[in-house]
Amino acid sequence: MKVSHIIDLVIPRLAKQLTLVFIGNILAAFLGFLTILIISRGLTVSDFGLFNMAISAMLITSSLSCLGMDTAMVRFASSYLVLQKTAEATQVLRATFLVRTIFSFILAVVIFNTAELLSTKVFYSSNLTSLFKLAAFGVLAISTLNYLKSALYTYQLFHMGVILQSLVDFGKLSTVLVLIFCLKMNTFTAVAAFAFAPLIGVLLGFGLLHRELFSRGKPLQNLFSRLFSYSKWLFVSNVCGVILPYVGIFMLAKMLSSEAAGIYGLALNLTYIFPIIIYSLRSVLLPEVSRFREIAQFDKYIRGSLKISFYAGIMIVPFLIFSYKIIPFFFGLRYLDSVPIFNWLMLGYFILTINSTICVTIHAMNMPQVLAMVDLLKLIVMIIGCYLLIPFLGALAPAILALIMNVIVLCFLSIYVFKKIREGDISFQDKEIIEP
């Protein structure tokens, strides 16, 4: 069968898989929206700022714990699976799970033991101490959940990954509703709901993957060194990419107030739809693109998936038009200042959504160092930019900076990838991934 015919079959299948993941994740996002809505109504703006800081610390640390190895796992295991080397793919999953569990535990212990220091010396708020300690437990649960979802996506079991996330978000919503009904809603119980709800998905995930994770098998030679060799760049990229969205919250809290962090945090939470879109695109596309071995496949895939990501991003238009009515209606006039921040963030995420397709391609071309350098520069610019611009632009500064950087990065990466395709300078399959 000709390559063009294969691609014609692949693109519609990718669209169907993406639709499944996207719709399921939209449901999870809707449940998350209701949860945030209830919490923001039940807390003061200042307390909601503290809640956002604790949740941000939890999400950042749990994402850092993967060391960039989740993407490496999908990349390596997919390469084995396309060659029908199931045992080798299983060993990749086990090695990644072991590393992730150990590092997650280390980070959780560090967060727990430094909670008081971070609260009083960095953010000058003793109220954060107990919240950061809760966040330490959340790091373990969220890290394990994220690993299990990546493992399911590696086997293209997208529907099960969606079910896991939906159950977790439903658990958060149910817990928060119970807290409101029992008059027990406060920053501590709200953070606790986010820290322990992921255990629902963890238990189900272990039930689905217990054979792959716990059965015996012969270890692959030099597997850990090969994983780390590939993932070292992914770790840099992952660290910067995870921290970047939350720089605004921490910089605003330090330079202005926890109330400013609450205003910005609400706007950031309301853009949750776009991380869902980006995660859906990456989850579906990376396992598939990692199997490509022809330049024509890359070229046609990029053009087709760019259209998909562009149309997915178009949905922001209604939100931009009605945000001045929607946000005050649901969250009250005290969050009116979140509206312009929300609009700038939405535009930035629209560009980032389109850019995610290019990023998947760069991973599949075995050039993670390019993304690492780009993400590192973005983080440096964001920190310096916030320091310089927050005194003049206030809470708008991080959102405006994010949009400008995303536009520049999209232009650069698009030119870079299409130049590589035109010159035929692409490594389709790193032999180190397949051969010991």
Distance from chain centroid for Cα 256: 27
Q: What is the mean pLDDT of residues 51-68?
A: 78
Whether 52 and 191 have beta carbons less than 8 Å apart is answered as: no
Q: What is the pLDDT of residue 17?
A: 64
Q: What is the pLDDT of residue 67?
A: 65
Task: Name the more confident of 89 and 12.
Answer: 89
Phi/psi of residue 83, nearest 5 degrees? -95, 10
The rounded distance, in Å, linking the Cα atoms of 329 and 341 is: 17
DSSP result, 300-317 = HHHHHHHHHHHHHHTTHH
| Residue found under tokens 């149910």 | 174
Q: Assess whether pLDDT exceeds 80 at residue 37.
A: yes
Question: For residue 186, how many C-alpha atoms fall within 13 Å in the half-sphere facing its CB?
Answer: 7
Whether 252 and 260 have beta carbons less than 8 Å apart is answered as: yes
pLDDT tens profile 16-35 = 666 677 677 777 778 887 88
pLDDT tens profile 254-282 = 788 778 877 888 888 777 666 666 766 66
245, exposed or middle or buried, with CB in 10 Å at 0-12, 13-18, 19+?
buried
Q: What is the pLDDT of residue 1?
A: 40
Q: Assess whether pLDDT exceeds 70 at residue 64.
A: yes
The rounded distance, in Å, linking the Cα atoms of 152 and 149 is: 5
Helix (H, G, I), strand (E, B) or coil at 43: coil
| Burial 214-233, CB ≥16 within 10 A → b, else e | eeeeeebeebeebbbebbbb
Q: How far is CA 165 from CA 171, 272, 288, in A?
A: 10, 14, 22
Which of 89-93, 128-132, 173-177, 394-398 has the weakest average pLDDT?
A: 89-93
User: Is the Cα torsion angle 189, 190, 192, 198 positive or negative in sign?
Assistant: positive
Q: What is the pLDDT of residue 384?
A: 93
Q: What is the mean pLDDT of residues 71-87?
A: 70
Whether 354 and 309 have beta carbons less than 8 Å apart is answered as: yes
Which of 78-92, 95-109, 217-231 has the weakest average pLDDT?
A: 217-231
Q: What is the pLDDT of residue 405?
A: 92
> What is the pLDDT of the chain when averaged over all its residues?
77
The rounded distance, in Å, linking the Cα atoms of 165 and 173 is: 12
> What pLDDT band is residue 78 in, cutting at 50, 70 and 90?
low
Q: What is the pLDDT of residue 230?
A: 60
- The proportion of the chain whose per-residue pLDDT surpasses 70, expressed as a percent, equals 73
Q: What is the pLDDT of residue 55?
A: 84
| Residue found under tokens 């000709």 | 2
Q: What is the pLDDT of residue 435?
A: 46
Q: Which residues lie closer than 8 Å to 407 by C-beta, 6 or more apart?
A: 351
Q: Which residues lie closer than 8 Å to 97 by C-beta, 6 or more apart?
A: 147, 151, 213
Q: Hey, how many other C-beta atoms are within 10 angstroms of the C-beta on 275?
A: 16
Nearest Cα residue to 233 out of 105, 116, 72: 72
Q: What is the pLDDT of residue 4?
A: 40
The rounded distance, in Å, linking the Cα atoms of 101 and 147 is: 9
Which of 112-126, 165-179, 289-303, 325-339 has the weakest average pLDDT?
A: 289-303
Q: What is the pLDDT of residue 54?
A: 85
**Secondary element (H or E) of residue 431:** helix 431-434
Most confident of 6-20, 281-295, 359-373, 397-411: 397-411
Task: Name the more confident of 427 and 428.
Answer: 427
The rounded distance, in Å, linking the Cα atoms of 226 and 266 is: 41
Q: What is the mean pLDDT of residues 374-394?
A: 90
Q: What is the mean pLDDT of residues 64-76?
A: 70
Q: Residue length, the chain? A: 436
Q: How far is CA 260 from CA 48, 148, 225, 338, in A?
A: 10, 35, 44, 9
pTM of structure: 0.65
* AA letter at 206: F
Nearest Cα residue to 416 out of 380, 354, 367: 367
Q: Which residues lie closer than 8 Å to 116 by C-beta, 6 or more apart?
A: 126, 129
> What pLDDT band is residue 7 in, cutting at 50, 70 and 90?
very low
pLDDT tens profile 152-191 = 877 777 777 778 888 888 888 898 888 888 878 888 888 8
Q: What is the pLDDT of residue 388?
A: 93
* AA letter at 140: L
